[in-house]
Every structure is written in C-alpha cells, then in structure tokens.
Structure 1
Amino acid sequence: MTSPAIRQAAFASLALAFAAPAVQAQVQAPVLHSVLVTATRSPQAARDIVSDTLSISAEEIGRSGAGSITELLQRQRGIEVTRNGGPGTSSSVFLRGSNGNQVIVLVDGVRIASASSGAAAWNAIPLGAVDHIEVVYGPLSTLYGADAIGGVVQVFTKKGQGGMALDASLLAGSYGTRAGTAGIAGSAAAFSYALHAGKERSDGFSATLPGSTSYNADKDGYDRKHANGQLAWQFAPGQEVGAMFLHSGQESDYDSGAKVRAWSTQKLDTVGIYSRNRLNDIWQMTTHAAQSRDKSGSFAATASQIDTKQSLYSWQNDFALGQDSLQLLAEHRQEEVASNTAALVHERSTTSWAASYNMKRGAHLLAAAVRNDDSSQYGSKSTGSLGYGYRITPGLRLNAGYGTSFRAPTFNELYYPGYGLPDNRPEQGRNGEIGIQFDQGGTALGAVVYRNKLTDLLVNTKPCPAPGFPSGCAYNVSKATLEGISLSARQHLGSAFTISASADLQHPQDDGTGKLLVRRANRHGNVALDYTAGSLSAGAEWQVSGYRFDDAANRSRLGGYGLFNLYAAWECAPSWTATLRWNNVGNKHYELARNYGTAGSTAYAGLRYSYK
C-alpha cells in the first residue's frame, strides 16, 4: 500500500469516525472509567490520557483462553508477532510496524530485555502470572528513555486486595500440553500480599519445516516453571513500602540439523522494592530500586551463554496542582553483560532527568514532557513530546501529538565479533499522529493516523564501511518510515452479544530501498463476537494478516493468512469455571517466519477455581 493510499483511507476513516457517533453523543454519559499507569507513570483516568492506549483486563484474559502472552497480544490492534516455532521458542512483538527491540517491555515497572539483543524474552513471561496488561503506542522516550520508539507494553502481575482469595487452574490439550497454577492473595490490616506459582509443559512439534537447513523431524517441546509475588505495608496514611518479584525458568528444544540434539535455556528474574510517600496534600514521592536478569543459553554442536543484568533506580515526584499535575523524575540504569563470548563482556550506565506536565482546562487536555539521558557509552540524548486532546462532546474526543525518541545500540551491535562496531550511534525517531475516539453507551470507535520517521537505523550492511567484516556489520545507514492508520470498534448488541473489530493499514518501509520492513504486513486485523448469558460465555474470532516478507530485499514472501478460533467458559459451580478453546479451526497452514512451523488445529480444555 502506498503512502497516498494510506492518507486517503485515513481521511475517510477519520471523517466516518467523527460523523457516526455525533448523532448519539447527546444521549448518554460516557462509560470510559478505567485507570491506567503506563502512559504517564502515575494513575490517570483513561479518559484524561492523550496518548493512544490499550488495556487488557483480567476478565478479558480469562475469557480469551489464550495460551501465551504473544498469542493474546497478537489479537490486539496495532500489534504483530513473529515466532521461531512453537510457544516455547523465541518471539518478537511489533507495535505499529516498529521492530521488537524498539519496544520497551515492563513487568510491574521493571524493564526486561536482553542488553545483548535488545529484545524481551516473551517466551519466558508466564501468562498465568498476569493480572492485566497496558499498551501505549508511539514514542515514550520522554518517560522511559531509550528504546521506546514504537511504544511500551507493561505487564502487571497479580496483587492482593480485599479479603483472602485463592485461585488455581489446570489446562490440557493438543501437542501434549499441560499446565497448572495456584495462588493466594489478599490483605489484612495494613498488609497486602500475593503469591502465585505454576508449571507448564508441552511435547510440541518440529520447530522447523522440511527444506530448512536446520530441519529435524523430532518434536520441539518446552518445560517452564514460574513464581511471582508482591508484598506491601501501609505503615501510616499515605505511606507505603513494598516489594515484588518474578521468576521464570524454561528449557525448550529447537532444531539445528537432523543429527544434533539442540536445546535452549531461558531464565527471567525481576525483583523490586519501593517506597511511596505522600509528603503533603499535593506532593507524592516514589523511590524505586529494581533489578532484572535475562539468562539465555543454547546448546547444540557448540554452546553459547549470555547473561544480562539491568539495575534500575528511580526517584519520582508527583505534584497535584489543582486539576493539573507535574512530574519530576531522576533515574539511573546500569546494564551488564556476561558471556562465554569474551567480546560481549561489557557494561554501561545511563543517568536520566525528566519533567512532564499534564493540564486539564474544561474540554482541553495538554501533555508535555522533556527528558535527557546521559550514557557512558553513546553520550547525551534529549527527547521531547507534546500532546493535545479536545472533548468535542462528553463521549467524543480529538487527539494530536508529536514526540521524539531513540533506541540505544545493543551490545551485539556494538561488540559482537564480526558484526558489531563500537562507534555505532542510537537510532532516532520523530512521530506525529492525530486520532479521534468515541466511547459512549454500548458503542466505542477509534481511529489513529500516525507517521514515524526513523533515522540512523542500525542494519546489517554489506559491504561494511569498516575493514575486516567480510559478512557485513551493524551500521547506521538506513532510514525508515512507519506510517498507517489503526482502526477499532466495539458494539454491544442487546444484553448478550458484543462485536469488536480492529484493522491496521500500514506501510513500514525502508526509505533507502523502498521495501517493506521484514515480517511486517501492510494489512492485518481481528474480528470477534462474544456472547454472555448467565454462567455461560462464548465467542468466535477471526485473525487476518496480509503477506509479509522474510528478507530485507522482499524476495522471500510469507503468504497472508486467516485464523478462525472458538472459545467458551462455563461457571459450572460456585467458584468453578470450565474453559474450552479451539484454535485454527480450519487447520490453516501459515508461517510467521520462513521455514519455521506453526501450530495446526489445536484444542485446549481447562478448569479454574477462584474463591474470594
């Protein structure tokens, strides 16, 4: 799809989104009351946030029957995923056409990403530990620093509130998949607590397809154990201290030729402590210290081990100024890599200062932020953002925004033998967008048009400008444009049915070659119909994607696909819910990456217990 075609579709869609709800806008009060944290680093009503956001609630996760966090995200607007085989293999998540290492991933406010690759270990995040998820689209470097070019995904684990609650679940299904979780959460007096643990195992299927040089006909399964917890103590009104942790350990098989047994290990650990203190009526101070570790190993004909550690310290001050808010932030982050590849053993530190201001004046919303990140490796980078929202009616709002961002070069791009160059610079982004959203009664509509210009892109350049790199090197040579329109709609049909849909028309392009960026489609979308009546809920969904290319030259084409899924949940007794999910009903063959397998028609049955 060409840029003019996207712009024509954008204008038409914005006009339709503007006109359709206007007739209803005087009828009922808006229904949007959810509170989000990620878009401003502090709790804010969703209706007061200018950024383009998405929230996936615990109820939606439970109804979805999704088997992994990437499977859940793949059904959301503006998101594409790629995976090198089954659920236990490495995965990437693309937001609005951006690369996987151009998206920040947080777990309870703690960054998780390998400093060597820049990508988060999505395959190691257990969905059973997740309470809800927030997604913020577009540049957020002014709030979170390096790597927030495409957006931020924050995973919130389960925490305690109210009386004691118990939960447990069992799941079994195709490819010998079985999983179980158990947890307890609650609060007593000034304490709140939560502790959950689980285990998953699957026999899997061959990660590669015949024709691949790595093909092995054996099954490539995985075995994962995880645990997470939170503890908080409110020792005085407005004064709270707490801690949280997440551990996930996984061993999974992959293919490295017919005669070699190959497997990988992945360990993800996060731990954090915080103190949240209300100093007076307008000033709240939050001090946070955290650490995340990503340990990955691969074992075949040779062995490779890369362990990365991030230590993070932040001091955040939030001031309530009438309806407005001011936030002042200081942060320090230390990245370290240990590996049996000696050249990768390095470290760097980044010290950051930021300020943001959110204003409300009648129908007007304004958000402005600035930040400076000073790195011991790549120097000083400054970013800024400005957003504006106008409530045309109580349920109808127009948004516009502009922001700059950057991505720090990974340790692989700097130091990996035969590939990295220590002088590589950060990638830079400049994003502008305009959108309109309507949420009132049983109707929700949204359209966002965006254009993100990227410069100094780090790509594998061959021949390399530097001598001694016969296979090419990582080098700042490319420019890219990520532009498109993201559409969403939801409509309640009576008291039992809800239909929802999203469509993304995009053109993520390498400006130097005019080619599509690898593994990203011009078009993708989702349609779902949900039914709820009494103790029964059921639904059907259709996931579609256009063709993509597996190489930068756009010669290796991955065909488009459509997947039809069915799911149901039945509260068969008080506190007990039975679930059933049938994925890829038509047994569609498709590829998310060239010569890597994907699941055929699969079915899963589960039983959940929840006592409150």
Structure 2
Amino acid sequence: LDETAGINASHASFPSDGDHDAYRNQSISLNLSHSFSDELEVGFNLLDNRGKSEYDNSYGRYDGATGQSLGQKPYTDYTVSSASGYVDAKLNDSWQSRLELGHSENRDTKRDTLSDDYSAFNTYRDSVNWQNDLTLDEQNSLIVGGDWYEDRFHGSTTFTENSRWNRAAFVQHRFKSQWFSTELGLRRDQNQQFGGQNSWSGTLTVPVNPDNDLLLSYSEGFRAPTFNDLYYPDTQYSNPNLQPETSKSYELQWRSQLTDSTRLEASLYRTDLSDAIILDAGKPQNVASARINGFEAALKQELFGWQGNLGLSLIDPRDRDSGHTLARRARRTVNLDLDRQFDQLGLGASWQAISSSYDDEANRNRLGGYALLGLRSSWALNREVSLSLKVDNVLDKSYARAKYSYLGESQNYREEGRVWMFGVTWTPEI
C-alpha cells in the first residue's frame, strides 16, 4: 500500500492546479512454484496494481459554449495487472523445455472533479512463449523457440484498429572452446500491423588470459509502437502515424577480474536507429535517423565487508538529420551503491548523478542536472519475515525530469522531495 498527499506538480497554470496532486497505489504480488521432481517444475505468478493518481493539466478544459479554456482537477483511476503460469521440464539429458502462458491488463479511466469529462483507455495482452534448450555435444548447444502475443484495445474512443497480433520464431547457436566462444542468433517477427522483420545477433568471446575476456558483439532490434503510443485519448501524448523502430548495435567489451574482490567491466558501443521512437515534449515521434555512441564502465569492489558498485555512463545521442541531442537523454550518469550485511541487519546507500538534457527535439528547453542520495536498511525477524526502511532523496533536492508549456513559457514538472518507505516482506515456506 502506497499513499501520499502528493505535491503540486506544476508551477504556473490555472488556479485549480495549485492543489497537491495525491497518489494512491495498492499492490499485491504472488509467486508460487513447485518441483514435482528434478525434471519437472510448475509455477504461477500474479501481480495487481490499482489506485488513483491526481495531476495538473496546464492546457485546461476547452468549453465549446464559451470558446475558453477552463481549469480542471483531473485524476486517473488505473489498474495494471498480470497473471502467468509456466511448465519447465527436462525431457531428457539433452533437452530442457519451458512453456509459459500470460495475460496482462492496463486500464486507465480519466475523470475531472470540476466537470463530467470522462475517458477510458484499456489495453489487454495475451501471450505464449515456448523455449527449448538443446545440448548437442560438449561444445555446441541450441536455443530454439517461438512467442506470440495479441494486443486488444477497448475504450471510450473508437479506432479503426482495436487489436493486433505479433508472432515470432527464434534460434540461437552457442559454441564454446578453449580458445574462443561464439553465439549466433536469428529472430523473425511477423506483426499484423507493421509486417515482418528479421533480427540478427552475434557475439565473439576471446579469453585473453584467465582473468580477462574480450567480447565483440552485433545485434539488431525491432520495436513496434504500443497502443498507448499510437492511440492514447489525449492527442498531446499519442501519435497514430508512428512507425516501428529498428536498430543496429555494435559493442566492444572488456571484462577483467582484477583481484579476488575486484571486477571491472568496460564497453564501447554504437547504436544506429531508423525511425527511432522518442518523446518530444511528451509526445512520441519518429526520428528518421539517429545514432548513440557510448562508453560504460562498472566496477565491483568488496572492501572491509562492504559491497561496492560504481557505474559510469557517457553517451552522445544524436538526431543525424538535425544534429540535435535526442530528447530526455542525459549524456553523463554516475551511480554508486554500497551495501553490507551485519547478521540480521542490512545497511545500504545509493548515490546517482545525472547531467543536464533537453526536453524537446529542437534542444530549446533544457533540463538541469541533479544528484540524489538514498539510504536503506533491512532486518530479518526470522526465515520468513523481514522489515525494510528506505529513504529516497535524503537531501530533499528539487529537480525535474520533464517540462510543460503554459502561456508560451516552459515550466518544470516538480518531482517528489524526501520520501520514506517502510515495508514488510513475508516469504512463507509451503
């Protein structure tokens, strides 16, 4: 259960937007699994989130009778739920097979306290995934399978397309020897709305010595826009003309075990995107041609009983036609995590620093950089029950991840300040 009186998310807009925007969320999750033998396991997963979220609409509500924009107190009643079940079976010494069925729902109902405005937008997905792991010999193995899903839409607005399916088949070959190892994969997607697409991937791993590995990889991607991207009721946040995004990625990675307690990974990569789906002032748009050059490094260190993880990301995300930086992508990010376990007591801290970015594709509206500190602790009462306490944004920093426009001026959407969260986790042995 998560409930807050909220904050005033917007600065300048209608007087009715000056109230705090409350948030309420009720969540339950259930994960069950049972092993009938060493060769057969079945499981079931359930997740249900539902609640109410208030927000500000700086554009107001258009009144056809007067031709004016009036203030609102809008809110959304939402439900996000999913259920899935699987069977995982070892059919013989060389064949492991897993079949998973799933269903998910995302239901949004928008209302306004000051008027009778109402809109519903509900999406549903049924899915099937079947994966087979085949051991051919000591050096060769295969992963073969397929997946299928169908999306359906129901809402207060009628669209020409209210359902679509996507089916795919995939195969991956793995080879491992003393001198090198390889992975080569192919996936074929057939989308009812956007047609077919082949996606290739490959990785070459070369052990330089017992403590260092060098990896070269290539992968292709295909991402169809979601129903929310295409048809969300408010045209400010949807675009029915979106095309699927395709990508090609190249990566050089180095993995090193520096000492028994220190591990370093570093990567150089480049991603070329066609029809990249980006948010431009909150609305999804296609960028004809974009590329992202990046460097990432991760250092894992154990020191005096503390587990430390330091991450660095440097990227240059560009629209290749305009030369502008892609919207809402920070060029520099640093993450630091420290954790230690004292018998039943666990302590931890996180620090994240994010550089400035732009809220729009034209690079006119700049979002400032920020740094956040978080603290956490846990206490194991017994083998089944544990308590946790978490504090986010300890220093109560003001920052923004997005902007909005009011009377021709750009304003920041406020984010929450210091947040406390207490949790109880029960893991029964059945």
- Between the aligned partners of 1:359 and 1:244, the Cα distance in structure 2 is 33
| C-alpha distance after superposition, 1:544-567 (max 9, x if no partner) | 111111111111111111223333
Q: Which residue of 1 aligns with 2:363?
A: 554
Whether the aligned pair in 1 keeps the contact of 2:16 and 2:72 (CA below 8 Å) is no
Opposite residue 491 of structure 1, the aligned amino acid is: Q
CA distance in 2, matches of 1:539, 1:315: 39
Q: For residues 189 and 9 of structure 2, what CA distance do their matches in structure 1 show?
A: 40
Aligned-pair CA distance for 1:229: 2.3
Q: Does 1:405 align with 2:210?
A: no
Asked whether 1:272 is paired with 2:84, we answer: yes
| Amino acid paired to 2:373 | F
| Correspondence for 1:457 | 276
Aligned ranges 1:399-548 → 2 under 5 Å:
399-411=215-227, 420-421=239-240, 425-439=243-257, 440-458=259-277, 478-494=288-304, 496-548=305-357
Preserved CA contact (<8 Å) 1:481 1:511: yes
1:515 Cα deviation (Å)? Answer: 1.2
Question: Taking structure 1 as reference, are residues 315 and 567 closer, same or farther at Cα in structure 2, changes over 3 Å only?
Answer: closer
Deviations 1:285-316, CA, capped at 9 Å, x for gaps: 22222111111222125222111111112332
- Whichever structure has more helix as a proportion of its residues is 1
1:64-463 superposed matches below 5 A: 199-208=1-10, 210-212=11-13, 216-235=17-36, 237-256=38-57, 259-300=71-112, 301=115, 302-323=117-138, 324-343=140-159, 345-411=161-227, 420-421=239-240, 425-439=243-257, 440-458=259-277
Higher mean C-alpha displacement, 335-344 vs 564-573: 564-573
Letter in 1 for 2:122: D
Distance 1:571 1:293, change over 3 A: closer
Q: Say which SS state the counterpart of residue 555 (structure 1) adopts.
A: coil
Deviation at 1:455, TM superposition (A): 0.9
SS in 2 for 1:586: coil
Alpha carbons 1:502, 1:525 under 8 Å: kept:
yes
TM-score, normalization by structure 1: 0.60
Identity %: 27
Contact 1:591 1:597 survives alignment (8 Å)? yes
Superposed displacement of residue 475, structure 1: 6.9
Counterparts in 2 of 1:458 and 1:609: CA distance versus 1, 3 Å: closer
- RMSD of Structure 2 on Structure 1 (CA): 3.0
Amino acid at match of 2:256: F
SS of match in other structure, 1:343: coil
Alpha-carbon distance in structure 1 between the residues aligned to 2:122 and 2:160: 10
Larger RCO, structures 1/2 (Cα 8 Å, 6+ apart): 1
Higher strand proportion, which one? 2
1:278 deviation in Å? 2.3
Contact kept, 8 Å, 2:108 with 2:121, in 1: the verdict is yes
What SS does the corresponding residue of 2:159 show, helix, strand or coil? Answer: helix
Aligned mates of 1:546, 1:268 — CA distance in 2:
32
Give 1:200 deviation, angstroms: 2.3
The CA distance in 1 between the partners of 2:230 and 2:382, in whole Å, is: 57
- Superposed, 1:588-607 pairs within 5 Å as 588-594=397-403, 595-604=412-421
Give CA deviations for 1:474-501 in whole Å, capped at 9, x if unaligned.
775521112211111122223x333331
C-alpha separation between the residues in 1 aligned to 2:167 and 2:347?
49
- Sort the Cα spacing of 1:266 and 1:345 in 2 relative to 1 into closer, same or farther, 3 A: farther
Structure 2 gaps of 5+ residues are 61-70, 404-411
- The structure with more radius of gyration: 2
Give the TM-score of the pair, scaled to structure 2: 0.83
Tell me what 1:585 maps to.
Answer: 394
| Structure 1 residue ranges without an equivalent (≥5) | 1-198, 462-472
Note the alpha carbon deviations across 1:405-437, whole angstroms, 9 max, x for none. 111133466567877556x54221010001112
**Partner secondary structure for residue 552 of structure 1:** coil
Whether contact under 8 Å (1:541, 1:566) holds in the other structure is yes
